Chain A
Amino acid sequence: GIQVEQSPPDLILQEGANSTLRCNFSDSVNNLQWFHQNPWGQLINLFYIPSGTKQNGRLSATTVATERYSLLYISSSQTTDSGVYFCAVALSGTYKYIFGTGTRLKVLA
């Protein structure tokens, strides 16, 4: 089955720092989302981005589907950015989202 790997697995930042999270996947996908799971467990949609680049405030994401990876950029990090970031992909012609291993982010004040 498809493999979805995220890096780094853990990240500690000082408030105000920038970071890049990576998601590699092993097969062609037609759906890809980035989520932030907050400390209360809620999965918050960040981006629906099967290809291309999107920006939303301090966050932006790029997916290069032909090279099978996606990047999530966080700029000027805040303590409220802490939590686990997941990418999830669905293979072309399927609807099951396969979640990556997650990146656990902690932002220190």
Chain B
Amino acid sequence: GAGVSQSPRYKVAKRGQDVALRCDPISGHVSLFWYQQALGQGPEFLTYFQNEAQLDKSGLPSDRFFAERPEGSVSTLKIQRTQQEDSAVYLCASSFSHPYAYNEQFFGPGTRLTVL
């Protein structure tokens, strides 16, 4: 498909488990973003990659959150020792160009994480 894809779509984890969420951006898109959306709220920025470089991780809520994009394409968001407050939808977005200029972002369907 031509859009952003994410897997898994749903993930249930027991408190304390580690999880890994995958994002496949649109082919050729330079910029990749992760957002977290709590129930009833708008998405909130977590981190940004330009190709393989993580240029901003200021939105990651704790050091249990880690993201990577080793080859400048697929990205993985990892959450260690999950807590109940990590329950949310995790959205990935990509855009074609340098983000200070034209920066139309395209979003994936999200991964809904539930921590029991």
Residues on A lying within 8 angstroms of B by beta carbon are 30-31, 33, 35, 40-43, 45, 48, 86, 88, 90, 93-102
Other contacts beyond A45-B104, A95-B33: 8, CB < 8 A: A31-B103, A43-B91, A48-B102, A93-B100, A95-B31, A96-B45, A97-B45, A97-B105
* Residue in A closest to B104 when the chains form the complex, CB atoms: A48
Interface residues of B in 62-116 (CB under 8 A from A): 89, 91, 99-100, 102-107, 109-110, 112
Interface residues on B, range: 20 to 34
Which single member of B43, B102, B103 contacts A99 (CB below 8 Å)? B43
Q: Quick check: A86 and B106 within 8 Å, CB to CB?
A: no
Q: Quick check: B104 and A86 within 8 Å, CB to CB?
A: no
Say how far B26's CB is from chain A's closest CB, in angstroms.
12
Q: Quick check: A45 and B42 within 8 Å, CB to CB?
A: no
* Residue in B closest to A40 when the chains form the complex, CB atoms: B109
- Which among B44, B100, B102, B109 has the greatest number of chain A C-beta atoms within 10 A? B100
